[in-house]
Amino acid sequence: MNQNLKDFYFFSDFLNRKVHHPSGQTVGRISDLVAERAEPYPMIIGLVVRPRRRKKSRRPDHRRFYLPWEKVARIEPQITLSEEELPALKTSLPEKDIILLQEEVMDKQIVDTFGAKVVRVNDLHFLRIDSHLRLIHVDVGFRGLMRRVGLERVMDRALQWLFSYDLPNQFISWKYVQLLSGSDLLQLSVSQKRLSHLHPADLADIIEDLSGRERSAIFHALDTETAAEALEEIDPKIQKALIETIPVEKASDIVEEMSPSDAADLLADLPEERAEEILGGMEQEKAEDLRELLVHPDETAGGLMTTAYLSLAPGVTVETAMARLRAEAPNLDILDYIYVVDEEEVLQGVVSIRDLLTAQSQQTLTEIQAPRVVSVKLEEDQNEVVEAFAKYGFRAIPVVDEGNRLKGVIGFRSVLEVLAPDAG
């Protein structure tokens, strides 16, 4: 492989091109390129060739064969093999970690983890380094599509003539590509790294855009924490379908990681048996919290609230409160306020994080708490809750029962879901 080589090649330069013997006789046509999965850019290690159809063979598909890249002597002006004897060239697909580019990548949907979208692959872009090709970009643009159709030149001329415009290529670096076909998602570590570029809300949008099978594949590939974060943002109907496809133990782990108010909403939508199974696999304490939340109808304050908040006794000092807040922050939904309750869980007052930051470290919470606490009752209608938020401008409002005992807290996010259920 040598003279007159370009620096860059496209997959469409290879697909269906003839492969020749050194003598010039045709061996067959290229039906696929095989790449070895390597970071960051996979290397082409061979071709799959569809042999020239002979009269006898009725099912040519079964006789496609693999040729290692080393057997290719040159690719310009025509693809020529280094040896005459075909049987010596034929080998089976290597055991290594490979990607079949035509079968798994071309024309398929992929996740562009940089732009946070699902896109369809039109072509692949290779960089030549010495005699080897590395896959560096996927082409998702209109130019790539026209190249595949065979009208790239025509389109160029037309655009030049009409608008003096050159349509640029639209490339996505392979680093940011997440495939949706089976083998790539099994590569957990790779998927993890790529999908972790995404904000959970973007990841949720992407999952919603995919078909059922791809959805569960990508969801399976996520670690528990990412899965929980994404699940919180996903449309309830799809949430339900996803949680039904995974094993109960994993579902329990994921639901445990979710914010209690989202988790309760999800469990309420599931068939009772399934919900019980999931609750059964969770930590006792979390499960009990969720069971309590599940009792309340969706449209009431009780249905909106979460149990992941911090409540402390009136005598606690600011210093201790800060320490507790810092320690529990990772598991809290409500970080803006600390609720002051007595031994009977009766709500005494509320301390905002601002109060906490501006107070002396030895003051007790009773000394700095707001004199009047705004709260809502468990069975209050959700619209009343929204009104309370609008009126007082709080970021969270506590929920109490008839005895004024603190049962949960409604965060601002839950209110947004009531107001704009279809947004995001």
* Residue 421 lies near another protein (rule: CB under 8 A): yes
To 5 degrees, how large is the angle CA 363–CA 368–CA 370?
165
* Closest CB to another protein among residues 82, 211: 211
One residue of 109, 224, 352, 404 binding another protein per CB under 8 A: 109
- Our finding on whether 53 is near another protein (CB under 8 A) is no
Residue 241 found at the interface with another protein (CB under 8 A): yes
User: CB under 8 Å, gap of 24 or more: what pairs does 245-252 form?
Assistant: 245/216, 245/219, 246/216, 246/219, 246/220, 248/274, 248/277, 248/278, 248/281, 249/281, 250/224, 251/278, 251/281, 252/277, 252/278, 252/279, 252/280, 252/281, 252/282
Per CB under 8 A, 237 contacts another protein: yes
Per the structure block, which two tokens stand in for 104? 């798994």
Q: Which helix (H) or strand (E) holds 207?
A: helix 200-209
Q: Which range of residues in 47-55, 104-112, 250-258, 301-309 is near another protein by CB under 8 A?
A: 104-112
Selection from 111, 113, 112, 93 nearest residue 31 by Cα: 93
Reading the block at residue 132, the tokens are 């080897």
Q: Does 117 bind another protein (CB under 8 A)?
A: yes
Tokens of 92: 């089976």
- CB nearer to another protein: give 242 or 321: 242
Find the shortest distance in angstroms from Cβ 424 to another protein. Answer: 11
Q: Report the alpha-carbon distance of residue 373 to residue 83 in Å, rounded.
A: 86
Q: Which of 116, 136, 145, 316: binder of another protein (CB under 8 A)?
A: 145
Of 169 and 352, nearer to another protein (C-beta) is 169
Cβ of residue 210: shortest distance to another protein, in angstroms?
8
Residues 6+ apart with CB under 8 A from 156: 166, 167
| Site track for another protein across 159-188, x = CB under 8 A | ------------------------------
Q: How far is the CB of 212 from another protein (least distance, A)?
A: 4
**Binding residue (CB under 8 A) for another protein from 125, 215, 286, 407:** 215
CA 199 to chain centre: 8
H or E stretch at 247: none
Q: How far apart are CA 277 and CA 274, in angstroms?
A: 5
Residue 108 makes contact with another protein by CB under 8 A = yes
Q: Tokens 């369809």 appear where?
A: 120
- Stretch near another protein under the rule CB under 8 A, chosen from 78-86, 144-152, 192-200, 347-355: 144-152
Minimum separation from the CB atom of position 312 to another protein (A): 37
211: contact with another protein by CB under 8 A: yes
Say whether residue 137 binds another protein (CB under 8 A): no
Residue that is written with structure tokens 């800060």 in the block: 322
> What angle do the packed helices 236-245 and 200-209 form, to 10 degrees?
80
Q: Which parts of 303-362 interact with another protein (CB under 8 A)?
A: none
For residues 81 and 99, which CB has a smaller minimum distance to another protein in the complex?
A: 99
Binding residues for another protein, rule: CB under 8 A, are: 106-109, 117, 119-122, 140, 145, 148-150, 210-215, 237-238, 241, 271, 299, 421-422
